[in-house]
């Protein structure tokens, strides 16, 4: 049994659920993580690729690196963890996915209410005027000529949050609010070390939500969690779904 009977009852009866996800979820779709052993930031220097200053110095290099990331993410497919989370969207009155991932695999699996704390590689913004565009369309037009140019004369940049930048205020505010009101928060595939995003989990814990951690190894979050389940998200979430069995109908 993954949950005690009391914990199972709290999850089945929850009105408001938040699922906070990190790179460990997408790793099972073949996408590399950024931190930790073997992560991208062990092989690449983030200050050379993921800061506003790096973009100012060498926008073509930054774009080529992100174009490779985009192609990898476009080719990836949602895994069983994404699919289980999407299916749970129809089982609770409110289920919000708060993600640190920029790959949109949650949306492609069918999740509808997704808050992207770190932005997404699927979109781009003009660094001068703020105009938005789809990355796929920009790359198709730009071809080998990077960075893509905006009609205003500025340069488009990936719509991700770089080191030294603030998280989108409205997204962070809603994430924190959802965490404060959650009956249950599941933290899946995240080390919970990136702030202020990791504060979302602390808000849920402080509000006495049931906090469930699903991770390949213990993390800083394990001390906050009421339940710490060790293993791959693509195995544990479907097993948890099966353990919960038939869910009661709601009025």
Taking 90 as the threshold, does the pLDDT of residue 142 lie above it? no
Q: Comparing C-alpha atoms, which of 67, 97, 69 is closest to residue 189?
A: 97
Residues 127 and 214 reside in one and the same domain? no
What pTM does this model have?
Answer: 0.93
- The secondary structure of 60-78 as a DSSP string is HHHHHHHHHHHHHHHH---
Measured CA to CA in angstroms, residue 194 lies from 99, 108, 167, 249 at distances of 12, 25, 11, 38
Q: What is the mean pLDDT of residues 240-247?
A: 84
Query: 91, 86, 131: which is closest to 113 by C-alpha?
Result: 86
How far is the C-alpha of 135 from the C-alpha of 227, rounded, in Å? 39
Tokens at residue 144, please?
A: 């080998």
For 178-221, write each residue's pLDDT tens digit. Answer: 999 999 999 999 977 777 878 999 999 999 999 999 999 888 88
Tell me, yes or no, whether 213 and 131 share the same domain. no
On average, the pLDDT of the chain sits at 92
Q: Output 160 or 146, whichever has higher pLDDT.
A: 160
**Average pLDDT estimate for 23-28:** 94
| Judgement on whether residues 93 and 141 belong to the same structural domain of the protein | no
Residue 137 has pLDDT above 70, yes or no: yes
Give the percent of the chain with pLDDT over 70.
92
Judging by beta carbons within 10 Å of its beta carbon (0-12, 13-18, 19+), is residue 46 exposed, middle or buried?
middle
Query: Token digits for 17?
Result: 């659920």
Q: What is the CATH number of the domain that holds 172?
A: 3.40.50.1220
- Give the pLDDT confidence score for residue 26 in this predicted structure: 96
Q: Identify whether residues 181 and 230 lie together within a single domain.
A: yes
Alpha carbon 113 to its chain's center: 12
Residue 225 neighbours by CB under 8 Å, 6+ apart: 187, 211, 212, 213
Domain boundary at 129, 160, 191, which? 160
Could you give the CA distance from residue 151 to residue 138 in angstroms, rounded to a whole number?
12
> Does the pLDDT value for residue 9 go beyond 60?
yes
Residue that terminates a domain, selected from 110, 132, 160: 160
Q: How confident is the model at residue 145 (pLDDT cuts 50, 70, 90)?
A: confident
pLDDT of 175 strictly over 80: yes
71 and 96 housed in the same domain: no
User: Is the domain of 67 the same as that of 140?
Assistant: yes
Same domain, 200 and 85: yes
pLDDT in tens, 28-50: 999 977 666 666 656 667 788 99
Q: Which has the minimum average pLDDT: 121-125, 127-131, 242-246?
A: 242-246
Is residue 182 located within the same domain as residue 216?
Answer: yes
For residue 146, pLDDT beyond 80: yes
For residues 134 and 220, state if they share a domain: no
Where among 104, 137, 160 does a domain terminate? 160
Number of domains in the chain: 2
Give the domain range for residue 154: 39-75+121-160
Assess whether 126 and 204 both reside in one domain: no
Whether residue 239 sits in one domain with residue 197:
yes
The CATH number for 68's domain is 3.30.1600.10
- Check whether residue 138 and residue 199 sit in a common domain: no
Residues labelled catalytic: 118
């Amino acid at each position: 049994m993954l949950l005690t009977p009391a914990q199972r009852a709290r999850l089945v009866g929850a009105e408001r659920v938040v699922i906070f996800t990190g790179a460990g979820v997408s790793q099972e779709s073949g996408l590399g993580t950024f931190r930790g052993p073997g992560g991208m930031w062990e092989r690449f220097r983030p200050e050379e690729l993921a800061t506003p200053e790096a973009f100012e110095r060498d926008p073509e290099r930054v774009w080529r690196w992100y174009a490779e990331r985009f192609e990898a993410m476009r080719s990836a497919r949602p895994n069983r963890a994404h699919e289980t989370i999407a299916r749970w969207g129809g089982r609770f009155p409110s289920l919000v996915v708060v993600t640190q991932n920029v790959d949109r695999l949650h949306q492609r699996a069918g999740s509808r209410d997704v808050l992207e704390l770190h932005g997404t590689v699927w979109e781009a913004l003009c660094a001068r005027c703020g105009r938005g565009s789809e990355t796929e369309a920009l790359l198709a037009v730009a071809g080998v000529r990077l960075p893509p140019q905006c009609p205003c004369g500025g340069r488009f940049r990936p719509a991700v949050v770089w080191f030294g930048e603030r998280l989108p205020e409205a997204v962070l505010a809603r994430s924190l609010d959802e965490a404060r009101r959650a009956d249950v928060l599941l933290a899946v595939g995240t080390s919970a070390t990136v702030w202020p995003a990791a504060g979302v989990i602390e808000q849920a814990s402080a509000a006495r939500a049931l906090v469930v951690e699903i991770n390949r190894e213990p993390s800083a979050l394990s001390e906050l969690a009421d339940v710490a389940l060790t293993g791959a998200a693509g195995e544990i979430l479907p097993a948890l779904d099966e353990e919960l069995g038939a869910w009661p109908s709601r009025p």
